[in-house]
Amino acid sequence: MNIKNTNHIYNSMLSRSERWALWMTDKVGSTGFFLTLFLWTIGWLGWNIVAPKPYRFDPFPEFTIWLYVSNLIQILLMPVLMVGQNLQSKHNEIRAENDYEINARAEKEIEELKKELEEIKTILLSRLPGQK
């Protein structure tokens, strides 16, 4: 029985851009990335609300530059995340197929073992005194 390491198989199929998309998907989907964006937003908005007027670069309440930058981040990340999620899904399908193959082989072997045990049981019972 040949057991395949689906991680090695999958990783060998990936191009450099696909590896990058998966890396970005992992990083953007992390708590660290969320906290970074959250703190950046709080800092940006807070500075432009409470800083002295001459130092405010994105005036309250419009925050035009902040909206532009955050929308740009979203627009650039969205396709990369979708590609990464599709690649993760493909990896899950490969793993599930491999798991199915292993389970089918194991079930076949278990059935063979059960038959052999029944044969052994039959032979042992036939050799007991008083049994035919």
pLDDT for 10 equals 87
Residue 132 in domain: no
pLDDT in tens, the chain (132 residues): 567 788 888 888 899 999 999 999 999 999 999 999 999 999 999 999 999 999 999 999 999 999 999 999 999 999 999 999 999 999 999 899 989 989 999 999 999 999 999 999 999 988 888 765
Please count the structural domains in the chain: 1
Could you give the CA distance from residue 54 to residue 47 in angstroms, rounded to a whole number? Answer: 12
Domain that holds residue 40: 6-127
Indicate the pTM of the whole model: 0.69
Residue 30 lies in a domain: yes
Please give the Cα distance from 49 to 58 (Å, whole number): 9
- Whether residue 16 lies inside any domain: the answer is yes
Instruction: Record the tokens describing residue 47, joined without a space.
Output: 């500075």
**Who contacts 54 (Cβ-Cβ below 8 Å, separation ≥6)?**
none
| Token reading at 105 | 């082989």
- What would the pLDDT profile of 49-86 be if each residue is shown by its tens digit? 999 999 999 999 999 999 999 999 999 999 999 999 99
Which tokens hold the place of 99?
A: 């798991």
Domain assignment of residue 56, yes or no: yes
